Amino acid sequence: MELGKENDAPIGVFDSGLGGVNVLAALLRLLPAENYIFFGDTANNPYGDKPLAQVKSLTKQGVDFLLNQGIKAIVVACNTATSAVIADLRQTITVPVFGIEPAIKPAVLTEGHGKILLLATPLTIKEKKLVRLMNSLPDKESIIPLACPGLAELIEAGDIAAAANRVEELLATVDTTGVTGVVLGCTHYPLIKQEIRQALGKEVRFYDGAEGLARNVRRVLANTGRLRAAGGSGQVRYVFTGEDQEARTRRAHALVAQLLAADRQSAQA
C-alpha cells in the first residue's frame, strides 16, 4: 500500500442503533479529516434488555463486519456492548479498540456535587465492568444507579413523547432529592436530554462519555502515527441492519448535523 494510504482507512463506529451518533459527532468535531463507517445494529436493538451472551455475539458480528471493511480502528459507541465484550475484543483484534463507559468518574470528581443519578441499560447496570468502576471511585455512595428498561428502544423508534413518559415513570421509582448531576450511561440518552431535565424539574449537569472517548481516539491515533492528514473533511458512510436503511441513514445524518450545529452554537455563546 502507498505510504500513508493506510491512514485513509476509515474508523469504524459501532452501536446497537442510532445512539452512537453522539459519539460520531464528537469524533467529527475533533477529527473532521477522518473517514468513518457507522454501523448501527437496528434490527437487533435494543441490546440493553438482552442476555449477556446474545449481546456479545451480536457485537462481535457487527465488529467483524466493520473489520472486513478495512477499518484502522474500532470505536464501540455503545455502553452496553462495551461492558459486555470490550475485553474479548481487545484480546482478538489487532487494530486499536475503543469503548465507552458511563462518565461517573468526572461526575463524582466535580467539586460540590450532590447526588449523581446514573441512567443506563439494565445490562450495563448489572455488568461487573460498572461495578468495578464504581468500587474504584471515591464517594460512590453519592451515585444512584437506575436501570432504564425499554427506554433506548423508544428513542431508537424516534418516539420521543413515549420516551419522555418512560423517563417520568422511571424517575418516580427513585428519590431524586439532592440530585445535581445526571450521567447519561447509554449513548441513546443524550438524544432526550431536554426530556430528562424536564422530568427532573430542575437544572442538573449532564455527563456523557462521548467527548472523553473522542479525545482518547485522537491521542492514540496521533501517538501511533495513524491520523489522516489534516485539512478538509473525510467521508461518513452509514450502515444499518434491518429495513429502512435509507430513512435511518437520513435520520442519523440529520442528528449528526444537529449535534455539530449545537456544538458550534455553544462554542460561540
The residue number whose beta carbon is nearest to ligand DGL equals 48
Q: Does 241 bind ligand DGL (CB under 6 A)?
A: no
Provide the 3-class DSSP secondary structure of residue 16: coil
Distance CA 74, CA 93 (A): 9
Distance CA 40, CA 195 (A): 24
Closest approach, Cβ 81 to ligand DGL, in A, equals: 7
Distance CA 91, CA 31 (A): 26
For residue 186, indicate whether it is catalytic.
Answer: yes
**Which of 23, 27, 55, 78 is labelled catalytic?**
78
> β-pairing, 179-184 with 205-207?
parallel
Binding residue (CB under 6 A) for ligand DGL from 108, 186, 199, 217: 186
Total residues binding ligand DGL (CB under 6 A):
17
CA distances from 87 to 3, 15, 99, 249 (A): 32, 17, 10, 30
Selection from 6, 38, 2 nearest residue 226 by Cα: 6
Within 84-123, the residues that bind ligand DGL by CB under 6 A are 121
Binding residue (CB under 6 A) for ligand DGL from 35, 42, 59, 124: 124
Binding residue (CB under 6 A) for ligand DGL from 35, 80, 142, 241: 80
For residue 148, indicate whether it is catalytic.
Answer: no
Active site residues: 78, 186
The residues of the shown chain that bind ligand DGL, judged by CB under 6 A, are: 15-17, 19, 45-48, 78-80, 121, 124, 152, 186-188
